[in-house]
Amino acid sequence: MQKTPTVLVTGGCGFIGANFVRLLRQQRPQWRLINLDKLTYAGNLNNLTGIQDGPGYRFVRADICDTAAIEGLFTGEGIDMVVHFAAESHVDRSITGPAAFIETNIVGTFTLLEAARRHWLDGEGKPAAGTRFLHVSTDEVYGSLGEEGFFSETTAYDPRSPYSASKASSDHLVSAYFHTYGLPTLITNCSNNYGPYQFPEKLIPLILRNAMQEKPLPVYGDGRNIRDWLYVGDHCEAVLEVLERGLPGRSYNIGGNNEKMNIEVVTLICDILDRRLGLPEKGMTRRSLITFVRDRLGHDRRYAIDAARIREELGWQPKVAFEDGIEMTVDWYLANQDWVEAVVDGSYQEYYTKMYGDR
C-alpha cells in the first residue's frame, strides 16, 4: 500500500500559496501538509483563517534560505513532495530593491533543492518512491512579446527585470538538479493570476482598493501593455495536476488564453464597481479616476501563453472565464475590505507613497 504523502508547501501564506493550501486541504484531505512561510509583508496568516494545525496540517514560520530549518523539516517530517511557491514576487519592488529577490528566489530555491537531493536520492542517484519537487515559476522568464506569437516551453529564456531574472535563475537550478542528479523535478510557468487574497500592490487588487476608496487609479505608460490573466483557482488546479501526473524533468506553461490590455482591465473594474456601489458623484464614473503615470522601467509589453502541452498531456484547461472571474474577484474584495486593510500595514503605505506619491 502506498504511504500517505507529506507535502511541503513553501509560501503557503501568500496569494497563490494560500489558495493552493485551501485546495489541497479540500481535495487531498488525507495528505499531510506542512506550510513553511517566512511571513514577509506579502504573507499573512489571515489568508488561511479556518485552517488549523492538526494531524493533517502544520504551519512553520521559517525562511527558505535557512538550511538548518529546512533540514530539520526533511528529517523530522519525512517530506515526500515539495510545492515551492515562496518568492519575492513583485516586479516593481525588484526594481527598487533587487537584493531580496536574489536571496529568496535563487539562494532559497537552491537551499530547498539541496535538502531534497540529500534526503531523496540513494547512493546510485535513484529517487525514493513518491518524491517530487514542483517549482512554481512565471511566464516572465521568457521576456516580452511583440504583437504576434506565444510563449511555449521551448521559447528561449530572456528575462528583463530583476524579478524575472531571479525566477529564471531558479528555473535553471531546478532543471540542473534533474539533469545532473536525477532529482524528480517539475516546473510550471504561469501567466498573471488574479483572485482572492492577492496583496493590493499588484494591478487588479490595487485598482480595486483605490477604486472602492475613490482614489486615483495609476496606469503605467500608455496602458496598452498586455497580460494573459488566469483565475487563481485554475492555476492551483493546474499545479496539482502537474504535481500528481506531470513528467519529471518537464516544464509546463499555464495560461488563461485571455489577453487583455491593462487599460481594458482597469476600465472593466471601474464599470463593475459603478454598478455595484453606484457612481462616486452624480455624472462622474470611476473611469475618471484613471491617472496615467510614469512607465515602469523596462516594462515588458506583452505576455501570452501557449498552454498546449498541459492541455494535451494532462487534460488541464482553465474553467473560469475572465468575465466571471473578475466579477467574483470584485465581490470578494467588496466582502473582505477588512482583510485588505489588515494586510495593508505601515510598510505598504510607505511603499505606496514612494511609488505613487502622497494621495
Q: Which residues bind ligand TYD (CB under 6 A)?
A: 91, 192, 202-203, 206, 218-220, 225, 227, 262, 296
Tell me the C-alpha distance between 82 and 310, whole Å: 20
Cα dihedral 35, 239, 89, 149, rounded to 10, equals 180
Tell me the C-alpha distance between 97 and 90, whole Å: 10
Find where cell 529564456 sits: 157
Shortest distance, CB of residue 239 to ligand NAD, whole angstroms?
Answer: 9
> Which CB sits closer to ligand NAD, 32 or 93?
93
> Which CB sits closer to ligand NAD, 127 or 164?
164
Set of cell numbers at residue 85: 511557491
Active-site residue, 140 included: yes
Active-site residue, 57 included: no
Tell me the C-alpha distance between 85 and 133, whole Å: 11
Q: Which residues pair with 137 in a beta bridge?
A: 189
Active-site residue, 139 included: yes
Shortest distance, CB of residue 90 to ligand NAD, whole angstroms?
Answer: 7
Compute φ and ψ for 128, nearest 5 degrees: -60, 150
Answer with the entry of ligand TYD, ligand NAD, none that 91 interacts with (C-beta below 5 to 8 A by kind).
ligand TYD
- Per CB under 6 A, which region of 175-183, 189-197, 295-303, 334-342 contacts ligand NAD? 189-197
Residue 230: HSE in the Cβ half-sphere, 13 Å Cα cutoff: 30
Set of cell numbers at residue 2: 502506498
Q: Does the protein bind ligand NAD through residue 65 (CB under 6 A)?
A: yes
Binding mask 125-164 for ligand NAD (x = CB under 6 A): -----------x-x--------------------------
> Which CB sits closer to ligand NAD, 177 or 199?
199
CA angle, corner 314, sides to 163 and 34, nearest 5?
A: 55
Q: Which residues pair with 58 in a beta bridge?
A: 34
Shortest distance, CB of residue 142 to ligand NAD, whole angstroms?
Answer: 12
Tell me the C-alpha distance between 74 and 119, whole Å: 7
Q: Which of 111, 161, 169, 193 binds ligand NAD (CB under 6 A)?
A: 193
- Identify residue 284 by its one-letter amino acid code: M
Q: Name the residues that contact ligand NAD, by CB under 6 A.
A: 10-11, 13-17, 37-40, 42-43, 63-65, 85-89, 104, 108, 136, 138, 167, 190, 192-193, 199
The set of catalytic residues is 139-140, 163
